[in-house]
Amino acid sequence: MIIRQLSVFLENRAGRLTELTGILADNDINISAFSIADTTDFGILRVITGKPELAEKVLKEHGFAVKITDVIGIVMRNKPGALHHALQILTDNGISIEYMYAFASGDDRATAVIRTDAPKKAIEVLQLHEMELLQAGDVYQI
């Protein structure tokens, strides 16, 4: 249930992101989801890829500062109120979110990737409320 997300430190330098996607492409690594948090000087790329261990290794070999972060992915119906329902469960259980990003997949489903300091507890409470969670296997193999 826990998904291994890669976080990469990126300087705000022209072409740096392209270098990174080039390295992933050369190693036949697919990107399932990503987001970039940026400041004036640097950005942090958060990316879920197939073959996360390989992705970490090849990026490190190319001098990137890479860190593996555990995140969870909640799968919801792509309709009004679905995200609110999921977040309400987390809030009611005292789980705070450090950051999140979301993507819609297919016609009627959407996934929210959530980073919290208590991923295991989050999984437990979400399952208790019969929420669907993204399986690591699903994303890594895309």
Partner 1 sequence: MIWNEHHECMDRQRLTELQGERLRDMVERIYFNVPFYRAKLQEMGIEPGDIRSLEDLKKLPFTTKQDLRDNYPFGLFAVPQHDVVRLHASSGTTGKSTVVGYTHNDILMWSEVVARSLTMAGITRNDIIQVAYGYGLFTGGLGVHYGAEKIGASVIPISGGNTKKQLQLLEDFGSTAIACTPSYAAYLGEAIAEEKLDRSKIKLKAGIFGAEPWTEEMRTQIQQLLGLKAYDIYGLSEVIGPGVSMECACQRGMHIFEDHFIPEIIDPETCEVLPYGTLGELVFTTVTKEAMPLMRYRTRDLTRLHIDKCDCGRTLVRMEKCVGRSDDMLIIRGVNVFPSQVESVLLEMSETRPHYLLVVDRENNLDTLEIQVEVEEQFFSDEVKELEGLRKRISGNLTSLLGLHASVRLVEPGTIERSMGKAQRVVDKRKLK
Binding status of residue 31 toward partner 1 by CB under 8 A: no
Whole-Å CA distances, 16 to 12, 62, 100: 8, 12, 23
Draw the binding track, 89-118, toward partner 1 (x: CB under 8 A; -: no contact).
---------xx---------------x---
When the beta carbons of 28 and 41 are compared against partner 1, the nearer one is 41
Backbone angles phi, psi at 76, to 5 degrees: -130, 165
H/E segment holding residue 75: strand 65-77
Q: Is 11 a binder of partner 1 (CB under 8 A)?
A: yes
Q: Are 43 and 12 in contact (CB under 8 A)?
A: yes
Q: How far is the CB of 44 from partner 1 (least distance, A)?
A: 6
Q: Say which residues have a Cβ less than 8 Å from residue 19's Cβ, sequence separation at least 6.
A: 62
Residue in 57, 61, 65, 91 binding partner 1, rule: CB under 8 A: 65
Give contact residues for partner 1 (rule: CB under 8 A).
7, 9-11, 37, 39, 41-42, 44, 46, 60, 63-67, 69, 98-99, 115
